[in-house]
Copies of this chain bind each other. A is one copy, B any other.
């Protein structure tokens, strides 16, 4: 039951701990035969490296924090997968925290991770304006941050991995216009997110370009839940505002909206064409399937992980932004 240590191995093999350690770490200053012997004994006796001791020695915890706003959508877990793909083989542990779109909770999570002595944090923020001080504090403490998807403004010197929201929003909008839609509603995300603003800008520009822009068609939403999407469309319909298309900030909002329409017998896409941003299975799990802009989420995680490793290895390295290409997936919610 007692754990086998390097010392135990050394005693068993009549070698020094140094030599045993060398064998275990694949050091070159060791005879290949003794290395083989050590490895054999390690296996036989069931030696397991004590990572706490190693961490202490190396001065690194080998823990990386992963901070996300929600996990009801597979969005974060797809990114997480990418992150783990890169970090797990290197012996890094990933610690996940979820804040439910609550900045206060995000704050607590970050503090918790600090307590956990993480070597770095990969984060998708939930409110651009709220936790700036903590971000800065962590950076000052030497804990590198890498943001993905929802990123903070430029005043923070961090690396980011993201997509061009303006560009892809325009792309989706052009598609909806192509479908002959003129009264396209925008369910806009909270203005506290850069992404909301960028996507809204894409919406506006395309509407404007085609001379069909109408501010009454933009409805701003407080939360990002399913219910918020529902409520948004209910509000519009209660106001008897007429529309033939919807471009929603996220898939959750879109699906909420979609359900409200279906409940009220509105045909999709015949009467209303819908498009959104997603990147997850969610878009294909609803009926009709949701057209959406799909960022390469797993890759996003991988890139974020690589950036954080870069920063851990060398803290003076320059921060950089990685822009990823997304895909416009046209499904039955927008075209017959």
Contact = CB atoms under 8 A, between A and B. Distances in A.
A64 to B, nearest CB: 10
A80 B96 contact: yes
A116 interface: yes
A238 interface: no
Contacts of A61: 51-52
A77 B84 contact: no
Nearest to A46: B141
B93 A48 contact: no
Interface in A58-103: 61, 63, 71-74, 77, 80-81, 84, 88, 91, 93-98
Given A56-B53, A98-B81, A116-B51, A280 B93 contact: no
A14 interface: no
A117 interface: yes
Nearest to A116: B93
For chain A, the bracket of interface size reads: 35 or more
A95 B98 contact: no
Nearest to A1: B142
Nearest to A137: B46
Interface in A269-298: 280-282, 284-287
B287 A114 contact: no
A194 B53 CA distance: 41
A50 B117 contact: yes
Q: SS class of chain A's interface: helix, strand, loop or mixed? A: mixed
A115 interface: yes
A200 interface: no
A258 to B, nearest CB: 7
B48 A226 contact: no
B281 A72 contact: yes
A259 interface: yes
Nearest to A284: B226
Contacts of A263: 287
Interface of A: 1, 46, 48-53, 55-56, 61, 63, 71-74, 77, 80-81, 84, 88, 91, 93-98, 112, 114-117, 141-142, 226, 255, 258-259, 262-263, 280-282, 284-287
